[in-house]
Amino acid sequence: MKVGKNLGSMRTSLVNLNSYHTPENEHLSFKEKLRLNSRLYFTLKYAGTILRSRKMAVRKVYDTQAWINSSLEIFDFIEDVGGKFHITGLENITKSEKPVLFISNHMSTLETMIFPGIIAPRRNITFVVKESLVRHPLFGDVMRSRNPIVVGRKDPRKDFEAVMTGGLELLSKGNSIVIFPEGTRHIDFKASEFNSIGVKLAKKAGVQVVPVAIKTDFWGIGKVIKELAPIDRHKPIHMRFGEPFTVSGNGKEDNQKIIDFIQKAQEEWR
């Protein structure tokens, strides 16, 4: 947590440096101590950002900079309640001259909300998302404004076609894509559910893959509403962006390379 923190400095670090680590501060006021691990404080702040973002999206004025700003607001709220980020490999986001596929494991709402603030200042991005998200009463307008690739998660063949067709079009226009091959959020990494659709798209489009490993169980999964869940400031937040690489062959070995990257990182973070 940072007292009197310089948000401009935080933003500069995320955009210009190779790593970011939440600064330590042992001198907290009584009010700040009460705020630590406060689910109510975090939920109210988070809801405020989402509602403002939705209002802008409905008015058709929610652009990329607004997306970045709302993402960084949530980043800030997470640090306010004691969340500690450890983000490395930021230089790998822009190592490839062409657009890339960011292929990541998926643990919580946190990465969906924070990736725009980390990646979008360096590259144009969008996400592969479930249809339920673009129809969501709170998040739908915001997500649709970001021109995502939408999959239903019911018919694998249709989803494959949607990702390939939409992905090729977006990549050809200079947009990078974030994809979570597990499809849904898992506290424990499910290598068996980590499909190869991302590497197949990268191979067909002739672009590189940036593997991403995360540990974001700071933000749990809600029982009724997944996004409104417990937070645990004792669990550090880890994100690691790997070196871009070119997909070869049928992609099976390359997909395993991403799985190995994620598993190795998570073993280090235990």
Please report whether residue 255 resides in a domain: yes
Q: Output the pLDDT for position 1.
A: 35
Answer whether 0.85 is exceeded by the pTM.
yes
Please report whether residue 161 resides in a domain: yes
Please report whether residue 109 resides in a domain: yes
Containing structural domain, residue 136: 7-269
Please report whether residue 92 resides in a domain: yes
Please report whether residue 223 resides in a domain: yes
DSSP string, 71-129: HHHHHHHHHHTT--EEEE-GGGGGSSSS-EEEEE---SHHHHHHHHHHHTTTS-EEEEE
Q: How many structural domains does the chain have?
A: 1
Please report whether residue 2 resides in a domain: no
How far apart CA 138 and CA 50 sit, in angstroms, is 7
What's the farthest any 2 CA atoms get from each other in the chain? 59
Q: Output the pLDDT for position 163.
A: 96
How far apart CA 267 and CA 148 sit, in angstroms, is 32
Give the closest residue to 148 by CA, choosing from 179, 127, 174.
Answer: 127
Which CATH number characterizes residue 107's domain?
Answer: 3.40.1130
Please report whether residue 189 resides in a domain: yes
Q: Output the pLDDT for position 3.
A: 37
Buried b (16+ CB within 10 A) or exposed e, 66-90: bbbbbbbbbbbbbbbbbbbbebbbb
Give the mean pLDDT per block of 10 residues along the chain (270 residues).
52 84 71 66 91 97 96 93 94 96 95 96 96 90 96 89 96 97 82 92 96 94 62 93 93 94 95
Please report whether residue 1 resides in a domain: no
Paired with 121 in beta bridges are none
Paired with 214 in beta bridges are 239
Q: Output the pLDDT for position 4.
A: 40
DSSP state of 212: E
Q: Given the structure tokens 């450890």, which residue do they identify?
A: 86
